[in-house]
Structure 1
């Protein structure tokens, strides 16, 4: 006798349908989890840094020394440019006049030069003024007093408006063609030397900064590689349970960031101490030359520049190390 199967009750149907349920995670939840993990890795990086103060401090100190050298050179170059900013940085044309030139003709010639659009200033130095200056500068006043005539000619000091070499040469040639001039000297060699010296210092600082930044990258890469090897088993476990490479590399990226940031702050401190040690002697030397020049130390701009640049270098070095080694660690 066949038994009829009883229809399932609604309660039974609800019980059967209440099995495993796939829960969907919203975008907001995923972002919150991602942000929480970043915060956790940031805190953990600092904890790991201070958990091994000797090794972490040595790594940060190496980074700091590598960054302090080009930073100090760049700061010294900036102070040098500020020190020479008060000097006369424009070339000068010295026009030596014929001794037989009449004063009225010289005055008219100087007025014409002052009206020239290429000339900024014209200063007339009489033979008497030239002799007095020479006596004071050379210390030969007694010997010169016995001379019957003044051997020095009158001079016009012409200050051009620009510093273009071709225009200055053309102006000097035009002055040589005047009947009143005996000789014309274009004094711009020292200006060119100063400009070349400044450019040399700038390029040296850039080259040194590039080489030492490369050294910082190598230091961070080696340090992060050691961290990865020390946590190799931990990486295998988290990958075995489904962790992505982005999840695994995040703590190492923050570790490199912390190394760089601390190294940049120490570099700023080293440069500040160096400026403090040199400020007194430099100020005393400037006073001997009648100048009120004082060294400028690394301000808040240097602090953010060194800290941010070093943190970026640390992050880049960590990324290079992680990209090479994390992918090679795979569970079997």
Structure 2
């Protein structure tokens, strides 16, 4: 009626819905500003809880990156038959090197194998009494970095079936151990993330519960005049949203600071091993996912807590 008398059109349902949520959105933020110390401590606890699994995730990603760089040392040794000439062996190495799943090849002739063995073993004088060279020619094959574990095994089996190849040997036990350790680490990070996620929900839920108890009389009055639970619940849901948002941002900041503090010593250690490895932090996509996780946990904790507490509050 008031809108018609003023010559204004009554806002539609969606406009009223958006206006109400926008009002509560900033109202709940204003409530947090009234207790800055408590809000900051809550955000700090949430941030630390979210930062722990995020830091372990970053550590796992960096170890995995180092492992992939070590894959360049992974080689398939193709021991050629004695009947294969040096020319054919060199040509075969060139043919294998042209494959898309092969990064590079190196042909080592029988004479070169004998020379290297004499130099490295110290048995040069003993080998001199042999009538002929007992060592075979070898093609060292380095798989492409894009080839996974199964692809490397398939490449090894396929090259081993070549008519010129006597034995194909792939030493990847260390790589399998690395993959197993990384798999354990990823599962451990997932379990820790779930447990700390529950801890975050408990912290936010307890904070919202205390806020509800502080506003108990106000809630009873709203229920007495017929306010629906959805209307009463809305400010507390947005309070959970803000707690999760600030906690997620703080967690991302803590992880970034930690990576920055460790990047120097990590680079120094890598340089001592002749590596140019650099410690990488949390990517932007994962950082926003961390913030989103904090928001979801905060909203869910507030929803569960408010639902249970409102059921216990009745007008007197």
Alignment partner, residue 41 of structure 1: 24
Report the alpha carbon displacement of residue 47 of structure 1 after superposing the two structures with TM: 2.6
1:284-304 deviation line (CA, Å, top 9, x unaligned): 112122222212223543442
Report the alpha carbon displacement of residue 98 of structure 1 after superposing the two structures with TM: 6.1
Q: TM-score when scaled to structure 1?
A: 0.75
Residues 1:215 and 2:199 are matched in the alignment: yes
2:214 aligns with one of 227, 230, 243: 230
- 1:111/1:165 Cα in 2 relative to 1: closer, same or farther (>3 Å)? closer
Q: For the residues of structure 2 that align with 1:305 and 1:115, how far apart are their CA atoms?
A: 41
Q: For the residues of structure 2 that align with 1:256 and 1:193, how far apart are their CA atoms?
A: 43
Q: For the residues of structure 1 that align with 2:72 and 2:39, how far apart are their CA atoms?
A: 48
Q: For the residues of structure 2 that align with 1:225 and 1:35, how far apart are their CA atoms?
A: 26
Alignment partner, residue 265 of structure 1: 249
Q: For the residues of structure 1 that align with 2:111 and 2:178, how far apart are their CA atoms?
A: 32
1:212-231 deviation line (CA, Å, top 9, x unaligned): 21221122122211211221
Report the alpha carbon displacement of residue 73 of structure 1 after superposing the two structures with TM: 1.6
Secondary structure at 1:185 match in 2: strand
1:56 aligns with one of 34, 39, 43: 39
RMSD: 3.6
1:189 aligns with one of 173, 177, 187: 173
Q: For the residues of structure 2 that align with 1:234 and 1:204, how far apart are their CA atoms?
A: 45
- 1:124/1:318 Cα in 2 relative to 1: closer, same or farther (>3 Å)? same
Alignment partner, residue 137 of structure 2: 154
Q: For the residues of structure 2 that align with 1:85 and 1:165, how far apart are their CA atoms?
A: 13
Report the alpha carbon displacement of residue 272 of structure 1 after superposing the two structures with TM: 0.9
Report the alpha carbon displacement of residue 51 of structure 1 after superposing the two structures with TM: 2.4
Q: For the residues of structure 2 that align with 1:117 and 1:75, how far apart are their CA atoms?
A: 31
1:171 aligns with one of 148, 154, 158: 158
- 1:310/1:167 Cα in 2 relative to 1: closer, same or farther (>3 Å)? same
Residues 1:292 and 2:276 are matched in the alignment: yes
Q: For the residues of structure 2 that align with 1:217 and 1:230, how far apart are their CA atoms?
A: 20
- 1:116/1:246 Cα in 2 relative to 1: closer, same or farther (>3 Å)? closer
2:59 aligns with one of 76, 84, 97: 76
Q: For the residues of structure 1 that align with 2:69 and 2:211, how far apart are their CA atoms?
A: 53
Residues 1:96 and 2:79 are matched in the alignment: yes
1:65 aligns with one of 27, 31, 48: 48
- 1:134/1:265 Cα in 2 relative to 1: closer, same or farther (>3 Å)? farther
Secondary structure at 1:326 match in 2: helix
Secondary structure at 1:204 match in 2: helix
Give unpaired runs (5+ residues) of structure 1: 1-20
- 1:210/1:26 Cα in 2 relative to 1: closer, same or farther (>3 Å)? farther
Number of matched pairs: 305
Contact 1:123 1:157 in 2 (8 A): yes
Give unpaired runs (5+ residues) of structure 2: none
Q: For the residues of structure 2 that align with 1:154 and 1:185, how far apart are their CA atoms?
A: 14
- 1:286/1:131 Cα in 2 relative to 1: closer, same or farther (>3 Å)? farther
Alignment partner, residue 7 of structure 1: none
1:285-326 deviation line (CA, Å, top 9, x unaligned): 121222222122235434422222211210111011111111
Secondary structure at 2:281 match in 1: coil
